[in-house]
């Protein structure tokens, strides 16, 4: 069977599966698995990726990870496990009025800094595994996204040494659960814990 014929035969089924909202990103391995399940040669996956990218149907997020969706909000799923935090969490939780580019916090070995997806910037922050906690799933359109809770967001601002406006800090402090905050701070070094405790008091 010619490659173009293979593309036509399988692409509609693959597209339908991988473009669903509950499947915001996919990898070459996902594509190979779907082809294998249909008893197609897994090597056709590379040809499909090339054709889909050429048609501007998919966008590459990072090495080996792609998406049919052009909403920048889905980029975090390319760096699982992750949560949206810092300034982004403030925006999502309506703790300030400013907009924010997505800020992805992940324990994966990534290069910190600004990247771009579909014409929008997003920011990557690497965090140690022992500090990867304190988030919950919130509804965003048809998907659920992990977002740091107020306590963890406040700690992250101190930990990552990001500027936090006084009025926003006060608003956050009013929402802090003291018991939860104490349990979170036990996982941090004394310097960070003392700074957060002083701020909350």
Cα 152 to Cα 93: distance, rounded to the nearest angstrom: 13
Residue partners of 116: CB distance under 8 A and separation at least 6: 122
Pick among 1.10.10, 1.25.10, 3.30.950, 1.10.3470: CATH of 3-67: 1.10.10
Q: How far apart are the first and last CA of the chain?
A: 71
What is the rounded radius of gyration, in angstroms, for the C-alpha atoms of the chain? 20
Q: Dump pLDDT digits (tens) for 7-54.
A: 566 777 777 777 766 678 999 888 888 888 877 777 778 888 888 888
Average pLDDT over residues 95-113: 94
State the span(s) of the chain assigned CATH 1.10.10.
3-67
What's the chain's average pLDDT? Answer: 89
């Amino acid at each position: 069977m010619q490659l173009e014929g293979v593309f036509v035969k399988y692409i509609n089924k693959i597209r339908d599966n991988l473009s669903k909202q509950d499947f915001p990103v996919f990898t070459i391995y996902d594509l190979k698995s779907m082809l294998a399940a249909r008893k197609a040669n897994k090597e056709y996956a590379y040809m499909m990726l090339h054709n889909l990218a050429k048609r501007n149907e998919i966008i590459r997020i990072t090495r080996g990870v792609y998406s049919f969706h052009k909403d920048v909000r889905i980029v975090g799923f390319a760096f699982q496990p992750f949560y949206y935090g810092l300034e982004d969490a403030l925006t999502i939780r309506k703790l300030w009025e400013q907009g924010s580019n997505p800020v992805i916090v992940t324990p994966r070995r990534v290069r910190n800094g600004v990247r771009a997806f579909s014409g929008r910037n997003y920011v990557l922050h690497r965090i140690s595994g022992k500090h990867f906690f304190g988030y919950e799933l919130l509804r965003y359109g048809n998907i659920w996204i992990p977002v740091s809770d107020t306590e963890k967001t406040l700690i992250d601002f101190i930990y990552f040494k990001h500027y936090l406006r006084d009025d926003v800090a006060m608003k956050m402090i009013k929402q802090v659960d003291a018991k939860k905050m104490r349990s979170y701070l036990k996982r941090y070094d004394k310097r960070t814990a003392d700074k957060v405790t002083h701020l909350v008091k």
